[in-house]
Amino acid sequence: MVQTRGQSRTPSKKGGKVALNGSPALDPDTPSPAPRTSSRAALQKHGQDVLAPKSHEYEFGGPIGALGVTLAVPFFSYAMFFFCNENVGCSVTPKHLDLIWKQFGVGLKESFLDVQGWAIYFAWYAFVVLCWAVLPGKWEIGTELRTGERLSYKINAFATLVASFVGAVAIISYKGPQGFTFLYDHWPALVSASIANSIGQAVYVYAASYRTGRLLAKGGNTGNFLYDWFIGRELNPRIGIFDIKTFNELRPGLILWALLDISCACKQWVKLGGRITDSMVLVVAFHGWYVIDALFNETAILTQMDITTDGFGFMLSVGDLTWVPFIYSLQARYLAFVPVDLGYAATAGILFVNGLGYWIFRDSNGEKNDFRNGTNPKNLKYMETKTGRKLLTSGWWGRSRHPNYMGDLIMSLAWSLPTAFNTPIPYMYPVYFLVLLVHRQRRDDAACKEKYGADWDKYCKIVPWRIFPYIY
């Protein structure tokens, strides 16, 4: 599989560099830490202005926005379950609300007193950490930090995915599909445990960021407790050589998403007495492929803004650990109790929409990756900038400034179409995703404007559309 995201592969250099946050940078070929030069010496080189610059601007609506998202994400993660499940159905009517209200006590019990569900979640999390520690993987060096140093990351997310799939297949082969419905059956407890995990981690990294010498994210040090806790103060929180942000971004949430989908398919199999619908096959395959693709290209995230620029706070912890697995799998969970048979024509139509989205997503990311890696196989036009970096002005990047987002958004629609049109709830994912990517595009454009100055304005004149040509 080719690399699809990020700008370029991070250089795989040998050599013992110093990581500021107390963890030694690593020789990429050895899983054991290279000798530390002296983190204290490195600290002395950099003043507080470099390590912990004060942030003067709020994003995401400032502290009020931070509070809103902090409350909204857990609320919606529960609501999507309690408003849409096999006992109450998935309609949007006052009668339905009344029914949900009557189930409130049961919901509380299922969420907080289901010890087995909580145990499953934390056993799962421990398993993923263990895989990180014991499975082989090469060490890759990340992008240069503000301090001039680089951190190393163990690349074995794909091996973790394979180990998880092998485990799931073993359970299903041994016990049958009914033996793998336990994730579906403990859903509210799993949501609660993941929220508890994300709160715990956000509190930990916030407190740990006050240790001396931590490198803070430029936007996460406003001095407002709620906002900084939400956005994340420290850029690369680590426990020794374990990088908390990259670990959470790719492994526990994304793999759990794929496993929840499989569990939903097993539930449908049991419900229908030994078959799964074409719509379920499509959803599980589309999601599964997306997860495989992300984990196979693990190194690509090392150049993404979440890793290079943003801190790790509650927004990312709850996004990675709760939102991704439990909201992104909504369509599969819906189909588990409302089976939809699409037939050949609708299946072909949806395959076409997903294929179109995937092609745009992959081809546009590929064009940029090639270009940032110093090649231009399609001989695309580009413009020079004063920074010395070039910007593509033809091909996908000549059609809009974020063609890769367009592809991703088209795919997100294809993931909801298999649920048909009985209720709008399974379409919540593409709606959320549109909001996320429009916001992300604006943040990225602002960052590019800062980076390229007047050259970015010139590029925007050549390529006026932000995501969708002739629309936005």
Ligand X SMILES: NC(=O)C1=CN([C@@H]2O[C@H](COP(=O)(O)OP(=O)(O)OC[C@H]3O[C@@H](n4cnc5c(N)ncnc54)[C@H](OP(=O)(O)O)[C@@H]3O)[C@@H](O)[C@H]2O)C=CC1
Ligand Y SMILES: CC(C)=CCC[C@@H](C)[C@H]1CC=C2C3=C(CC[C@@]21C)[C@@]1(C)CC[C@H](O)C(C)(C)[C@@H]1CC3
Q: How does DSSP classify residue 404? A: H
- Residue closer to ligand X by CB (options 220, 403) is 403
Out of 264, 318, 410, 437, point to the residue binding ligand Y (CB under 6 A): 318
Out of 120, 266, 294, 410, point to the residue binding ligand Y (CB under 6 A): 294
3 scored as a contact of ligand X (CB under 6 A): no
Using CB under 6 A, which of the segments 28-36, 97-105, 308-316, 360-368 binds ligand X? 360-368
Q: Which of residues 106-165 bind ligand Y (CB under 6 A)?
A: none
Using CB under 6 A, which of the segments 9-17, 232-240, 265-273, 319-327 binds ligand Y? 319-327
59 scored as a contact of ligand X (CB under 6 A): no
Would you state the torsion angle of the CA atoms of residues 52, 301, 399, 366, taken in this order, to the nearest 10 degrees?
A: 140
- Minimum distance from residue 440 beta carbon to ligand Y (Å): 8
458 scored as a contact of ligand X (CB under 6 A): no
Using CB under 6 A, which of the segments 108-116, 171-179, 236-244, 314-322 binds ligand Y? 314-322
Name the residue with tokens 């390529």.
463
CA 304 centroid distance within chain: 11
Radius of gyration of the chain (CA): 23
Using CB under 6 A, which of the segments 119-127, 173-181, 298-306, 415-423 binds ligand Y? 298-306
In the beta sheet, which residues pair with residue 392? 382
Closest CA to 334 of 273, 253, 279: 279
Using CB under 6 A, which of the segments 36-44, 166-174, 311-319, 378-386 binds ligand Y? 311-319
| 7, interface contact from ligand X, ligand Y, none, CB < 5-8 Å by kind | ligand X
Side-chain-side CA neighbours of residue 367 (13 Å): 23
262 scored as a contact of ligand Y (CB under 6 A): no
- Minimum distance from residue 145 beta carbon to ligand X (Å): 15
| 3-state per-residue secondary structure call for the chain | CCCCCCCCCCCCCCCCCECCCCCECCCCCCCCCCCCCCHHHHHHHCCHHHHCCCCCCCCCCHHHHHHHHHHHHHHHHHHHHHCCECCCECCCCHHHHHHHHHCHHHHHHHHHCCHHHHHHHHHHHHHHHHHHHHCCCEEEECCCCCCCCCCEEEECHHHHHHHHHHHHHHHHHHHCHHHHCHHHHCHHHHHHHHHHHHHHHHHHHHHHCCCCCCCECCCCCCCCHHHHHHHCCECCCEECCEEHHHHHHHCHHHHHHHHHHHHHHHHHHHHCCCCCCHHHHHHHHHHHHHHHHHHHCHHHHHHCHHHHCCCCCHHHHHHHHHHHHHHHCHHHHHHHHCCCCCHHHHHHHHHHHHHHHHHHHHHHHHHHHHHHCCCCCCCCCEEECCCCCEEECCCHHHHCCCHHHHHHHHHHHHHHHHHCCCCCHHHHHHHHHHHHHHHHHHHHHHHHHHHHCHHHHHHHHHCCCCCCCCCC
- Minimum distance from residue 431 beta carbon to ligand X (Å): 13
Q: How many residues bind ligand X (CB under 6 A)?
A: 22
323 scored as a contact of ligand Y (CB under 6 A): yes
| 404, interface contact from ligand X, ligand Y, none, CB < 5-8 Å by kind | ligand X
| 80, interface contact from ligand Y, ligand X, none, CB < 5-8 Å by kind | none
- Minimum distance from residue 375 beta carbon to ligand X (Å): 13
Using CB under 6 A, which of the segments 36-44, 232-240, 277-285, 384-392 binds ligand X? 384-392
| 281, interface contact from ligand X, ligand Y, none, CB < 5-8 Å by kind | none
Out of 79, 208, 448, 460, point to the residue binding ligand X (CB under 6 A): 448
Out of 399, 440, 449, 458, point to the residue binding ligand X (CB under 6 A): 440
CA distance 179 to 200: 31
Residues 24, 29, 31, 34, CA torsion sign: negative
287 scored as a contact of ligand X (CB under 6 A): no
| 381, interface contact from ligand X, ligand Y, none, CB < 5-8 Å by kind | none
Q: Site map for ligand X, 392-431, x if CB under 6 A?
A: x----x---xx-xx--x-----------------------
365 scored as a contact of ligand X (CB under 6 A): yes
- Residue closer to ligand Y by CB (options 76, 337) is 76
Out of 91, 143, 224, 304, point to the residue binding ligand X (CB under 6 A): 304
Out of 3, 5, 141, 354, point to the residue binding ligand Y (CB under 6 A): 5
- Minimum distance from residue 310 beta carbon to ligand Y (Å): 9
302 scored as a contact of ligand Y (CB under 6 A): no
Residues that bind ligand X (CB under 6 A): 5, 7, 304-305, 361, 365, 368, 371-372, 389, 391-392, 397, 401-402, 404-405, 408, 440, 444, 447-448
